[in-house]
Structures are given as structure tokens and as C-alpha cells.
Amino acid sequence: MTADPAPVLELIEAFRGSKTMFAAVALGVFDRLAQGPENAAGLAQELGLVPDALERLLDACVGLGLLAKNDLCYANTGTADVYLVSSSPRSLAGYVLYSNSVLYRLWSHLEDSLRDGTNRWQQEFGIEAPIFSHFFRTEEARSDFVAGMHGFGLLSSPAVVAAFDLGRFRRLVDLGGATGHLALAACREYPRLRCVVFDLPEVISYAEQYLGQAECRQRIELAAGDFFADALPAGDLYALGRIIHDWGEPKIRRLLQKIHHHLPPGGGLLLAEKLLKEDKTGPLSAQLQSLNMLVCTEGRERSLAEYAAILGEAGFQEVQGKWTGAPLDAVLAVKV
């Protein structure tokens, strides 16, 4: 029987589709077409591009389902309008830009990460400082990164806060809460809950902007600080979204022990991360994200048993995990 070459052929071309979308976002194609349809020549003139070359990009975006083409004019699809236009409330354009300018370059050195087990920031960008200093090197870079995390949060946070019954908790402190998407989702899900969004001073200012006039805004406090170095706001439920997977185990243990110390008996810790199966055979998104952590952080993705082990070392018990069907899964641990 002849083996099917389709998986290999698809993967040979997979990066081309990603880079096509990355380039279209970076060049402002979707933002411009949000204003109305345009042909390739007119769009090229506005964006300062070569018409024939741009037409190839636009046609590829049609093939990817991101644009529609009618009478030689191009228009955004609904998906592009919601997720690839930078002004959309649910935009993922910030994360696309971060993927294009940072992750795409780090992944080009995957083989070297596999040889020495470390990330590629020094190799690609000449940076030895904590990786987040790169995200915050300019106002534009910081804004793009925060916007990207916000878009992902809107997709994941409602499922994460609904994964377990959190109704017994009264004060949630979201450590590294960025734009407040998890706090807002939690307040919507649990009417008696109050929340604190805690993040670095240069990040917490974005929460005010993104929370705006949300109906639960009066139940959400904002606090600036470094959860590794500063005292934590009081609460009976702490949350860490896409934090644990960034760091090596010594740093994680210190943070988890600190949180455990601040919690009252019966208090909880909610993690929003991708969960691997116990035998690491899936899901694919978690497997690929673990490789992503290899090239760009000190961390990795984990199975529920691995989370239970590291949480147990910090004193937590009753560790539960759930796959949510959203980009992030949920783990809940309790201080007994």
C-alpha cells in the first residue's frame, strides 16, 4: 500500500499560509479593506506596494478564506473583519504582528534550541534580559503585544472561568491580568465576585482602556506591581493566565509558594494554560505551544499530573483540570 503524502505536502506549505496572513496584517491590507472594497492597483498605490506582487498576496488571502474577490475588487471576509482588523474589539492582529516580528524569527532557530535546550532571544535579537523587556522596548511593541494577549483572552477567559464552579469565592486577584479580560469574564459569570487586576505599571494602564465602561467595571480594581517581587493583593482566589508556562521550575515554585502563603484556608488558584494529555500525544496545539515555549521562554506546557505535582510541592491540594475547547484550558487547585 502506498503511503499518503498529503500530511507531508501540507506541512511543507503550512508556513506559507501563515506568512501570507502575517504580511497582509503587517502591511495594513485588512485595515484598509475595512473601509470598503478595492482593486489591487488602487490598494497597491495606497499602501506603497507593487501591484502585481500585491495581487498575488490578495489572491492567496482569498484562497485562505480571509478575503473575498468580486469583479477584480477585494473585500474582507467576516473572519478578517472581526479578527484581523486592528480596530476590532476582538482583534487578534496584535498577536499576528508579534508572531510575524518575533515568533517567526525565533522559530527559524528551532534546531539550535533542540541542541542546547534554551530559547533563541540572544541568538536572534542579542537580548539576555528577561524576554518581556523585548515586548516593551517601544510603545508600539508593547501595545501590539498587549492587544494580542487581549484578543486571545477574549476567546479563552469565558471558558476558563466557567470550567469550575467558582461561586464560593468572593475576591479574585488576576496576577499578570493585563487588560482585565479574565476578571471581566469572571465578574459576568459570578455576580457576587469582585476582582483585582494586578500587573506591571507599564501594562496596567491598558486595563483601564480595554475595560472601558463594561457593565462589571465597578467590581474590578486595578493594582500595579511585580508578582515576583511585590506583596500580593489579598484575595481568596488567585488566577495565573499564561504565566506558569513562561518560566523555569525554580521560579515557578517560588511564585506558587508565595500565592499559597497569601491564600486563606479553602482559597484557590486558577490556572489558564494549555493542557497536554498524560502521555503527551496531544492535543497538537499544546504540543506546538510547548515547542514555542522552548524557543521563546524558559518554560513548557504540562499535563495535569505535572501541574498537580508542582502545585502539590507548593502545598496545594484537590487539583482538577479541564479541557475547555477554547485556546486555553483550566486547572483549579485549593489550599486546604
CB 297 within 8 A of CB 119: yes
**Residues designated as active site:** 245
**Which residues contact residue 74 at a Cβ distance below 8 angstroms, ignoring those fewer than 6 apart?**
33, 37, 38, 39, 40, 43, 58, 61, 62, 67, 68
**Which residues contact residue 257 at a Cβ distance below 8 angstroms, ignoring those fewer than 6 apart?**
314, 315
CB atoms within 10 A of CB 260: 18
Q: Write out the H or E segment, with its range, that includes residue 28.
A: none
Cell 523585548 found at: 134
Instruction: Return the ∠ at Cα 159 (arms to 157 and 163), rounded to 5°.
Output: 120
Give the Cα separation of 100 and 84 in Å (integer).
Answer: 13
- Give yes or no for a cis peptide into 283 (omega within 30° of 0): yes
**Which residues contact residue 245 at a Cβ distance below 8 angstroms, ignoring those fewer than 6 apart?**
273, 274, 289, 293, 297, 299, 300, 301, 302
